[in-house]
Chain A
Amino acid sequence: MAREERQEKGSYRKFFPPKKKFCRFCQRNVKNIDYKAVEILKKYIPDRGKISPRRITGTCAFHQRKLSLAVKRARLMAFLPYVED
């Protein structure tokens, strides 16, 4: 059962290939992400104020690490909310 579902998903993917994601930071050749650049960080925290995962944004592992650190610093300095509802 499960296998069939998976196959179906595979064929679905074949006809509608997902849009290729890429790391925006790599594209811009940025090495370090500053916690003061609030406008950039805001793009990576949707409504709830959580950090969006790599599988959704397509950020590379290197930059996701930097990004999460920057977001956490920004939260401490009250640039970004810890919780938002």
Chain B
Amino acid sequence: MRQYETGFVVSPGLSEEETEKFISQMAEVVSLRKGKMIKVDIWGKRKMAYPVKRFTEGIYVFFHYEGEGDIPLELERRFKQTDTVIRFLTVKKDPKDMIRRKRKKPAGEPPAPVESGAEAKPEQQAQASDAVKEEEK
């Protein structure tokens, strides 16, 4: 059993009902093959950085699921068959990556990291904290 994340871009030409139907169809593929759907992330319409198949916009959908390797194969086979999917990408997820590395600190000095944080410029710190929030999403 492995965790996968499949992201795909649905063409914006479809109506809302059709896209929803398509997404639920794809979700069914996962459940049919004894996969466990963890999360379905629908970002909605978003402008793409460059035109793909003459579309400038796309509906981004992300599936997080757990299962055997035949699920991403089947999904990608279906994506290739239909014209509704413009782009897709499957990423293998390592559950270890979700846990943050623990900073090794010497037992005797707990206040050391606080000092280093205070030295950093406020502007940089603000940026960093923003990014941290995004990472946590």
Contacts and interface: CB of A to CB of B under 8 A. Distances in A.
Interface stretch (A1-9, A10-18, A31-39): A31-39
Q: How large is the interface on A (under 10, 10 to 19, 20 to 34, 35 or more residues)?
A: 20 to 34
A78 B97 contact: no
Given A29-B103, A31-B101, A73-B91, A81 B7 contact: no
Q: How large is the interface on B (under 10, 10 to 19, 20 to 34, 35 or more residues)?
A: 20 to 34
Contacts, number: 57
Main secondary structure of the interface of A (DSSP, over half): loop
B99 interface: yes
Interface of B: 7, 9, 48-50, 52, 58, 60, 62, 87, 89, 91, 94, 96-101, 103, 120, 128, 131-132, 134-135, 137
Given A24-B131, A76-B89, A79-B48, 18 more contacts: A27-B128, A28-B132, A29-B100, A29-B103, A31-B96, A32-B94, A32-B98, A35-B91, A39-B134, A40-B134, A40-B135, A76-B87, A77-B60, A77-B89, A78-B9, A78-B87, A79-B49, A81-B49
